Amino acid sequence: MDRTPVNPSIWSLKFGFNQAEIFTGATRQLVCSGQTATDADGNPQHPGNMRGQFGLALDNLATLLAAAGMSFANVTRLGIYTTDMDEALKHFDLLGARLGSAGVTPPSTLVGVTRLALPSLMIEIEATAMD
């Protein structure tokens, strides 16, 4: 799969994402439901700890990608939902480390919400991936 970034201006790059990307040569697409800070049984973890929840949600996304034979290098789009925008932004280095080590800057959207499915959850990350 080849990726071509589309950035009419470069403001988004300082936040670690392209405004759009053109994909050619992809053979499979994986659409992931939102990944949160839950254990293997679906129990919420790290109550009140945004960094812990962000990290575990990324770990859970990595596990899901690996189960499909993919990695963060295959991620083509992210949607991130949070109950505390300011606190989430403080911990975006976690996402930057995962995407940076994979060499990708996928188009992304960050949305503040009043609540997620389980009241103690603070962040949810959904992804689309291709190979």
Which structural domain range is residue 81 located in? 28-130
**What residues does 123 pair with on adjacent strands?**
82
**Does the residue 43 lie in any domain?**
yes
CA atoms of 91 and 52, how far apart (whole Å): 10
**Does the residue 61 lie in any domain?**
yes
**H/E run at residue 32:** strand 29-35
The pTM (predicted TM-score) of the whole model is 0.93
CATH code, domain with 107: 3.30.1330.40
Write out the chain's pLDDT in tens, 131 residues: 999 999 999 999 988 999 999 999 989 999 999 999 999 999 999 999 999 999 999 999 999 999 999 999 999 999 999 999 999 999 999 999 999 999 999 999 999 999 999 999 999 999 999 99
Please name the residues in contact with 20: beta carbons below 8 A apart, sequence gap of 6 or more: 5, 6, 7, 107
Q: How many domains does the chain have?
A: 1
**Residue 26: predicted pLDDT:** 84
**Does the residue 44 lie in any domain?**
yes
**Does the residue 19 lie in any domain?**
no
